[in-house]
Amino acid sequence: MIGHLRSRQPVAGAACMLLATVGVVANVSGCGRPAATPSAGMPRQGTVPVAGTVRHRGQPVANASLAMQSADGTILARGRTDAAGAFGAVSTYGTDDGVPPGRYRVMVAVSGTQEIEPGVLAPEPPGGFVSPIPRKYASLDTTDLEVEIAAGGATDLVIDVP
- Indicate if the pLDDT at residue 33 is higher than 70: no
Does residue 74 belong to any structural domain of this protein? yes
State how many domains the chain has. Answer: 1
| Mean pLDDT, residues 55-61 | 95
Q: What is the CATH number of the domain that holds 131?
A: 2.60.40.10
- pTM, rounded to two decimals: 0.69
End-to-end CA distance of the chain: 9
Residue 160 CA to residue 162 CA, distance in Å, equals 6
Residue 35 domain boundaries = 10-161
125-140 per-position pLDDT tens digit: 887 777 889 999 999 9
Does residue 152 belong to any structural domain of this protein? yes
Q: Given pLDDT bands bounded at 50, 70 and 90, which one contains residue 59?
A: very high
Q: Given pLDDT bands bounded at 50, 70 and 90, which one contains residue 40?
A: low
Does residue 47 belong to any structural domain of this protein? yes
Q: Which residues are bridge partners to 91 per DSSP? A: 78
The SS3 of residue 116 is strand
Residues in the chain: 162
